[in-house]
Amino acid sequence: MSRVGKSIIKLPAGVQVSIDAANVVTVKGPKGELKQELKEGFGYNLENGELTVIRPTDGKQDRALHGLYRSLINNMAIGVSTGHTVKQELVGVGYKVSNQGNIVEFSLGHSHRIVLEVPQEIKVTTETVKGQNPSVSMESADKQLLGQIAAKIRSFRKPEPYKGKGIRFAGEVLRRKAGKSASK
């Protein structure tokens, strides 16, 4: 059995889980409602606020999806109760970020500014403090969507290994290279 798939999901207080006839899991909580479609045959067992995902067979495909569905449902339960947060820093001279609602504008050393419209499910805040790197903080109940948008933002200017300039996650440690060495 999958080690991740057989783990029990402890539902936080105020979170409700239901599955309909079309195998769509719905998780409701104080921060919203999320849905995830399951493959035919997968089910769940709910007892005393603890949820376990049940797979239909021991086939290779079902074993692979067992842990995935358990992780997705767990992330949904955490998201609707407390939410997920991602913080990114812009490291580089002249790098700037600002937002107007869900429209975020980046100045990353290109000849033009980059404008990104973030989905309404994500709450975005930008911060520029003198002496510190500009930062973008995002909060959402949907961990998948949050990770996808964070990866998109990072792709605008990936951190480079020589000077460390670029967009990185807060607390991320980069492997730095020495660069050219003067040999004479």
How do residues 1-15 score in pLDDT, each as one tens digit? 458 888 899 999 899
Average pLDDT in the 157-171 region?
93
CATH 3.90.930.12 domain locations along the chain = 9-81, 84-169
pLDDT attached to residue 119: 95
pTM here is 0.87
Residue 21 has pLDDT above 90, yes or no: no
How far is the first Cα of the chain from the last one, in angstroms, to the nearest whole number? 61
CATH number of 84-169: 3.90.930.12
Per-residue pLDDT of 129-145, as tens digits, reads: 999 999 999 999 999 99
Q: State in words which class domain 9-81 has.
A: alpha beta
> Residue 19: pLDDT band by 50, 70, 90 thresholds?
confident
- pLDDT tens-digit profile of 74-96? 999 999 999 999 999 999 999 99
